[in-house]
């Protein structure tokens, strides 16, 4: 009986994702292309080993792990939007929760995939499972990360699935299930980012990471980049699906982001002061990041671009006029996204390992294989989000329930924001 209803729900979901307009399928085709590219890249990497990347003993974590770190921030921040949604009692609270959690789910899928493609012996991955193998708990932060990320994934999938399933069956969602889980997901979001920060932070061998400011900086930057993505998504959905979110709500998010940006810049400034004023041998990594070292300058330009992006975005968000203007707001979103992506993807991992623990400088740049694999992972993540949104929006606004035909006008299409 119940199994039957679930089957109906799943069939309904399948019907939703299998129908859509030209743009929808064009977007799916693009994602499929990305995924195929990724599979090709990964096949090459699996055959030859990680030598297909440009990681070496000197820089043994790089592009994959940088993307992983950035996406943990996205996953965390998406859910943190639930807080303002509650505080300001927005009308479309359940939509905000569901869309935020779906973004978290997609980001987590990408996170786990980036970890998977980064491991040298994925066939041994099961050794991390409890009971059947030997997780090094509580000592290893990677085990903690695996626990919190998977836990977070389960929480978010549960909430989203529950809400959609109930609405699909024409019922209100069960507050006793959803509210505690949503409330749990908020500290958990802080948790995943803190644990990920600690993964780096705990490495006393790498002074660039071994600074207590690292976890706060992670959170601050996540509060900038995660909502930036959601702001743009909200606008896209509002345009393509009539998603009911007000200018007021968007402006509130932007306001919160401006605080986060300030904290982010402040913490960066605090770190820069400490490094350059004390100028110990530990400041060599920050020096490499911003000025280069021994004639090696590969990431200096990126470092300054990231700072410039973050600073400009802060200006755009802190001035009410530019915050309310949709164009400058979106420009700010793009800038802060770029700023944080560079900061996490390049500025965190690479200087942490350059120079290496014996002072050697190896200037890493990703290989084509790494770009291909990353494209594939992003393709999977975007696909997951696209399909989830395609299912969720018509169910959320009540246009699609058990026994109904698929509404024709609800194809969320991947158009640019404008």
User: In the complex, what is the shortest distance from the CB of residue 365 to another protein, in angstroms, rounded to a whole number?
Assistant: 10
Stretch that binds another protein, among 71-79, 111-119, 162-170, 254-262 (CB under 8 A): 111-119
Q: Which residue in 8, 30, 40, 58 binds another protein (CB under 8 A)?
A: 58
Task: Find residue 293's DSSP bridge partners.
Answer: 296
Q: Which residue in 18, 57, 278, 405 binds another protein (CB under 8 A)?
A: 57
The count of chain residues that interact with another protein, using the rule CB under 8 A, is: 53
Q: Is 51 in the site for another protein (CB under 8 A)?
A: yes
* Virtual torsion, Cα 396, 402, 406, 407, nearest 10 deg: -50
Residue position matching structure tokens 């039957």: 4
CB 398 within 8 A of CB 92: no
Q: Which residue in 11, 26, 139, 403 binds another protein (CB under 8 A)?
A: 139
Residues making up the chain, counted from first to last? 418
Q: Is 140 in the site for another protein (CB under 8 A)?
A: yes
Q: Which residue in 18, 47, 212, 278 binds another protein (CB under 8 A)?
A: 47
Residue position matching structure tokens 């989830």: 388
Q: Which residue in 48, 171, 297, 415 binds another protein (CB under 8 A)?
A: 48
The string of DSSP letters for 341-359 reads HHHHHTTTHHHHHSS-TTS
User: In the complex, what is the shortest distance from the CB of residue 387 to another protein, in angstroms, rounded to a whole number?
Assistant: 30
Q: Is 302 in the site for another protein (CB under 8 A)?
A: no
Q: Is 278 in the site for another protein (CB under 8 A)?
A: no
Q: Which residue in 77, 82, 104, 141 binds another protein (CB under 8 A)?
A: 141
Q: Which residue in 5, 11, 127, 171 binds another protein (CB under 8 A)?
A: 127
Distance CA 154, CA 223 (A): 22
> Encoding tokens for residue 2?
């119940």
> Encoding tokens for residue 14?
């399948």
Contacts with another protein, 354-383, as mask; x by CB under 8 A: -xxxxxx-xx--------------------
- Torsion-angle region of 321 (φ positive above 0: left; ψ -120 to 50: alpha; else: beta): alpha
Residue 404 CA from chain centroid, whole number: 34
> Encoding tokens for residue 129?
């499972």
Distance CA 287, CA 277 (A): 12
Q: Is 331 in the site for another protein (CB under 8 A)?
A: no
Stretch that binds another protein, among 7-15, 185-193, 202-210, 303-311 (CB under 8 A): 202-210
Q: Which is nearer to another protein, 252 or 287 (CB)?
A: 287
Q: Which residue in 73, 92, 135, 412 binds another protein (CB under 8 A)?
A: 135
CB neighbour list of residue 278: distance below 8 Å, 6 or more residues apart:
none
> Encoding tokens for residue 176?
């006793």
Q: Which is nearer to another protein, 271 or 356 (CB)?
A: 356
Q: Which residue in 4, 18, 121, 212 binds another protein (CB under 8 A)?
A: 121
Q: Which residue in 7, 11, 26, 119 binds another protein (CB under 8 A)?
A: 119
User: In the complex, what is the shortest distance from the CB of residue 119 to another protein, in angstroms, rounded to a whole number?
Assistant: 5
Distance CA 190, CA 199 (A): 14
Q: Which residue in 4, 123, 212, 278 binds another protein (CB under 8 A)?
A: 123
Q: Tell me 212's DSSP state.
A: T
Q: Is the dihedral of CA 341, 84, 262, 187 positive or negative?
A: negative
CB neighbour list of residue 319: distance below 8 Å, 6 or more residues apart:
none
Which residues of this protein are in contact with another protein, per CB under 8 A?
A: 47-51, 53, 55-61, 115, 118-125, 127-128, 133-136, 139-143, 146, 199-200, 202-206, 281, 284, 352-353, 355-360, 362-363
């Amino acid at each position: 009986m119940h199994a039957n209803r679930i089957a109906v729900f799943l069939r309904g979901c399948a019907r939703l994702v299998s129908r859509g307009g030209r743009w929808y399928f064009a977007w799916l085709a693009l994602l499929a292309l990305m995924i195929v590219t990724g599979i090709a890249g990964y096949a090459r990497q699996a055959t030859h080993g990680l030598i297909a990347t440009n990681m070496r003993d000197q820089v043994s974590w790089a592009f994959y792990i940088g993307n992983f770190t950035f996406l943990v921030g996205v996953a965390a921040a998406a859910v943190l939007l639930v807080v303002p949604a509650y505080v300001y009692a927005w009308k479309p609270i359940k939509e905000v929760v569901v869309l935020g959690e779906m973004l978290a789910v997609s980001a987590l899928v990408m996170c786990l995939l980036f970890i998977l493609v980064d491991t040298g012996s994925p066939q041994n991955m099961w050794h991390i499972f409890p009971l059947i193998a030997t997780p090094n708990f509580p000592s290893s932060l990677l085990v903690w990360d695996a626990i919190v990320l998977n836990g977070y994934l389960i929480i978010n999938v549960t909430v989203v699935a529950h809400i959609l399933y109930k609405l699909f069956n024409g019922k209100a969602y069960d507050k006793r299930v959803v509210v505690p889980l949503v409330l749990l997901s908020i500290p958990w979001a802080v948790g995943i980012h803190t644990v990920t920060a600690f993964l780096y932070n705990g490495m006393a061998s790498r002074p660039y990471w071994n600074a207590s400011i690292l976890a706060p900086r992670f959170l601050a930057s996540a509060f900038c980049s995660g909502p930036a993505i959601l702001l743009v998504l909200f606008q896209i959905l509002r345009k393509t699906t009539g998603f009911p979110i007000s200018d007021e709500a968007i402006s509130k998010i932007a306001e919160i982001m401006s605080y986060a940006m300030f904290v982010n810049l402040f913490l960066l400034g605090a770190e820069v002061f400490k490094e350059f004023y004390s100028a110990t041998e530990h400041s060599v990594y920050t020096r490499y990041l911003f000025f280069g070292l021994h004639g090696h300058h590969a990431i200096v330009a990126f470092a300054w671009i990231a700072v410039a992006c973050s600073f400009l975005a802060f200006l755009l968000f802190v001035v009410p006029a530019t915050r309310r203007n949709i164009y400058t707001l979106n420009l700010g979103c793009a800038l802060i996204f770029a700023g944080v992506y560079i900061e996490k993807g390049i500025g965190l991992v690479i200087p942490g390992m350059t120079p290496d623990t014996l002072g050697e400088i190896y200037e890493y740049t990703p290989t084509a294989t790494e770009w291909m694999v990353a494209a594939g992972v992003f393709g999977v993540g975007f696909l997951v989000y696209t399909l989830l949104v395609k299912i969720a929006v018509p169910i959320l606004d009540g246009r699609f329930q058990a026994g109904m035909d698929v509404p024709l006008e609800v194809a969320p299409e991947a158009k640019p924001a404008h």
